[in-house]
Amino acid sequence: GTKKLVFLGSPKFAAESLKKLNSASKAMGYELSLVVTQPPQPAGRKRVLTPTPVHTVAEELDIVVQTPAKASDPDFIEFLEKLEPDLCVTAAYGNFLPSKFLRIPRHGTINIHPSLLPLFRGAAPVPRALEAGVETTGVTIMFTVLEMDAGPIISQREVTLNGGEKSQELLDRLFDIGTDEVVKVIPSIFDNTVEPVEQEHAKATHADKMRKEEGVTAFTENAVRIHNKIRAFAGWPGVWAEFVSETSKGVREELRIKLITSRVHEAQGGPALGVHEINLGACKDALRVVCDDGSVLDILELQPQGKKPMPANQFKSSMQGKTFSRKRVPH
């Protein structure tokens, strides 16, 4: 009979994968019979229960949706057993898959993981790769096993970075490529010609979830490191820094600013003396900050707390006639 696929995913980039997989399934004569996603969560100021982006797309495509709080939920497991799926495909689903889930699909469960496994296993592969300043990353399609991101590899695609990408756009790109790979490998899984390769577990590295308190800088690190952190933590938690402005009459204001877009200025700023004061005229399109080690970071786009994101120039004109400096942080 017709091969039955189940898709598991939650965020917006996974919803794009679902659309792509759904049309490919139709073209290949498979049936995408079920979508599994996180339960609706309260969102926004009014805490309105909001379905995941994957949930919304599944309803638009008229596919049955299940939202178990846990994948081990007995009613859900029973539902899946009755469905008798041939293959499950996961893309940032966000729930642990227990063995009683994994033994149901006839040909197993495959996962799209946005790194070159065994590097960056875990919850935040893309931010951690950007934070580490890698020049190459990629996406891996592998079979899901109980241990997180440790299953045998079916396919891998490498992606070269230009040094400017931020987490969100890179996630979108890797899941887009990953979905193409999934579509490519499904036939070999169904006709049992697929030859998965065991990961080199000894080389595994881990990409832990970001913590809010990581999203700060006092410019004590090198400019390259801060630039990579800004790319990595774009969205959440962001990278925040503290500044001080002072009027000619001596009125001081402390400003907490989120650094949104940056670039590393090639020249060194010389010895880090008087490094805290910022010369607002030093760079035409940026707020030029000299770090403690003399390296120089240009901030192109920023967001003062409580305001909207703005280009550096707009912010600089609001500082006209004031002295502006990095807040001194006790070491």
pLDDT tens track for 93-109:
999 999 999 999 999 99
The answer to whether residue 274 scores a pLDDT higher than 90 is no
pLDDT tens track for 161-215:
999 999 999 999 999 999 999 999 999 999 999 999 999 999 999 999 999 999 9
pLDDT tens track for 29-65:
999 999 999 999 999 899 999 999 999 999 999 999 9
Q: What is the helix (H) or strand (E) element at residue 15, kind and residue range? A: helix 12-28
The three-class DSSP label of residue 185 is helix
Predicted confidence at residue 273, as pLDDT, reads 47
The answer to whether residue 331 scores a pLDDT higher than 70 is no
The candidate with the shortest Cα–Cα distance to 9, out of 126, 19, 29, is 19
Non-local (6+) Cβ contacts of 202 within 8 A are none
Q: What are phi and psi of 210, to 5 degrees?
A: -75, 150
Predicted confidence at residue 268, as pLDDT, reads 63
The candidate with the shortest Cα–Cα distance to 297, out of 319, 324, 323, 326, is 326
Q: What is the helix (H) or strand (E) element at residue 41, kind and residue range? A: strand 41-43
Confidence of residue 266 (pLDDT cuts 50, 70, 90): confident
The answer to whether residue 329 scores a pLDDT higher than 80 is no
Distances (CA, A) of 239 to 121, 162, 217: 23, 21, 7
pLDDT tens track for 119-144:
999 999 999 999 999 999 999 999 99
Mean pLDDT of 66-76: 98
Lowest mean pLDDT among 82-91, 262-271, 309-318: 262-271
| E-only strand ranges, 119-251 | 136-143, 153-160, 239-246
The answer to whether residue 270 scores a pLDDT higher than 60 is no
Mean pLDDT of 307-329: 93
The percent of residues above 90 in pLDDT, for the chain, comes to 89
Predicted confidence at residue 269, as pLDDT, reads 56
Non-local (6+) Cβ contacts of 137 within 8 A are 114, 115, 116, 120, 126, 129, 158, 159, 161, 170, 174
The answer to whether residue 328 scores a pLDDT higher than 90 is no
- Region for residue 56 given its phi and psi (left: phi exceeds 0; alpha: psi -120 to 50; beta: otherwise): alpha
Tell me the C-alpha distance between 290 and 326, whole Å.
9
**Domains of the chain: residue spans and CATH:** 4-203 (3.40.50.170), 212-326 (3.10.25.10)
Q: Could you check whether the bond before residue 152 is cis, i.e. omega within 30 degrees of 0?
A: no
Q: What are phi and psi of 274, to 5 degrees?
A: 55, 30
| Token pair for 38 | 């996180």
The partner residues of 160 in beta bridges, in order of sequence, read 136
